[in-house]
Amino acid sequence: MRDRIELVEKKYPDLSVRKQCELLEVARSSVDYEPVAESAEDLRIKRLLDEIYLIDPCLGTRRLKTILSREHGLQVNRKRLQRLRREMGIEAIYCKPRTSIPDDGHRKYPYLLRNLTVERPDQVWCTDITYVPMPGGHAYLCAVMDWYSRKVLGWAVSNTMETGLCLEALDKALANTGTVPEIFNTDQGGQFTSVEWTGRLQDLGIQISMDGKGRWMDNVFIERLWRSVKYEEIYLFEHATIIDLCEGLAKWFVRYNDWRPHEALGNETPGVTYRTDTSQIVADGLVAGLPKKTA
């Protein structure tokens, strides 16, 4: 929609603005609309909701209302909390009754990793999206990870949470590795049940796996990645722009892949375990310096 609105030329000599809007199928009022910036209080509440979600993702709005009042002195009603969490793309984890069957356009796929022994790189990849608070708004981060080695194979940042963000991260992972996984696991978010996403994986011959509804443990490794990147980079450095954020994330992901040992990997790094060079994942030609290893 926004792309079509930007095609309207107010000083075009042959067509009036109204006629251009009719041809482009956009509302005339949308041409002059100036989006209102989020209030500082909404941004603060979103930041706190994001931090609380990393600590306990099972809290509903009733408990969140109590915690925000008790620990931060904020009086926020539940409807506002529900709206802000919808905008952030997060919801409380709890068991839900299966009351409907999804239609063919949004097919849900079974979880293929239960009782599966993952014993080699590129056997299973996984991905997810997380909310990134920023001083003047927010962004979304999508990362693709190899399940066996925990290596981040590709990532992308956007100010909108759309399927294109996920496809960009996937394209980077495919370009960086030169291969495709046997299985790709995601949650049941709208981006990952879309025809664009599932069709791309099917075209590549990849088996599609999806977490159970509300089952964050089904994709636990990338959930753990979000906790690390937020507490070690995003919350420490309030990046003013998307470019600043990408520069900081590029450096952090290189350290994560190539420098920091993981106890679960026998104190090897994800890059060594995956057995490939991770320097390619640095976005837009950014070069990040790594701390030197000491004996």
The DSSP-derived string for 197-230 is HHHHHHHTTPEEEEPPTT-GGGGHHHHHHHHHHI
Per-residue model confidence as pLDDT tens digits over 41-74: 999 999 899 888 888 887 888 989 999 998 999 9
Token pair 């990997």 is at which residue? 265
Q: Quick one: 83 and 186 in the same domain? A: no
Query: Are both 29 and 45 inside the same structural domain?
Result: no
Mean pLDDT, range 229-237, rounded to an integer: 90
Q: What is the pLDDT of residues 198-232, one digit of tens each?
A: 999 999 999 999 876 545 455 678 888 998 999 99
Q: What is the pLDDT of residues 240-269, one digit of tens each?
A: 899 999 999 999 999 999 998 888 888 899
d(CA 107, CA 195): 9
97 located within any domain = no
**pLDDT at site 11:** 80
**Pairing outcome for strands 124-134 and 183-186:** parallel
Q: Which residue has the higher pLDDT, 277 or 109?
A: 109
In a domain, residue 177? The reply is: yes
Q: Is the pLDDT of residue 280 over 90?
A: no
Distance between CA 114 and CA 15 in Å, rounded?
60
**Does a structural domain hold residue 101?**
no
> Does residue 12 lie within any of the structural domains?
yes
Higher pLDDT, residue 106 or 5: 5
Helix 78-88 vs helix 61-72: crossing angle, to nearest 10: 100
Same domain as 236, residue 163: yes
pLDDT score recorded for residue 1 = 56
Quick one: 52 and 29 in the same domain? no
Domain range for 174? 106-284
| pLDDT higher than threshold 70 for residue 293 | no
Strand order in the sheet with 137-146: 152-158, 137-146, 124-134, 183-186, 207-210
Same domain for 130 and 251, yes or no, is yes
Give the number of domains in the chain: 3
Express each pLDDT in 130-171 by its tens digit: 999 888 788 999 999 999 999 999 999 998 888 999 999 999
Residue partners of 57: CB distance under 8 A and separation at least 6: 90, 92, 93, 216
> Looking at the structure, do residues 65 and 123 belong to the same domain, yes or no?
no
Could you tell me if residue 289 is inside a domain?
Answer: no
CATH number of the domain to which 143 belongs: 3.30.420.10
Q: What pLDDT score was predicted for residue 137?
A: 83
Same domain assignment for residues 185 and 274: yes
Based on the domain organization, do 247 and 131 belong to the same domain? Answer: yes
The reply to whether 134 and 151 lie within a common domain is: yes
Which of the four pLDDT bands, split at 50, 70 and 90, describes residue 32?
A: confident
Cα–Cα distances (Å) from 128 to 69, 74, 155, 184, 234, in that order, read: 31, 30, 10, 11, 17
| 95 lies in some domain | no
Model pLDDT, residue 217: 55
Whole-angstrom distance, CA of residue 284 vs CA of residue 202? 28
118 and 244 in a single domain? The answer is yes
Do 121 and 79 sit in the same domain of this protein? no
295 located within any domain: no
Phi, psi of 227 (to 5 degrees): -60, -45
Q: What is the reported pLDDT for 289?
A: 39
Average pLDDT over the chain reads: 83
Q: Is 70 exceeded by the pLDDT of residue 86?
A: yes
Whether residue 240 lies inside any domain: the answer is yes
Q: Are residues 52 and 127 in the same domain?
A: no
φ, ψ of residue 72 to 5 degrees: the values are -130, 0
Q: Per-residue pLDDT for 291 more than 60?
A: no
pLDDT band at 92 (very low <50, low <70, confident <90, very high): confident
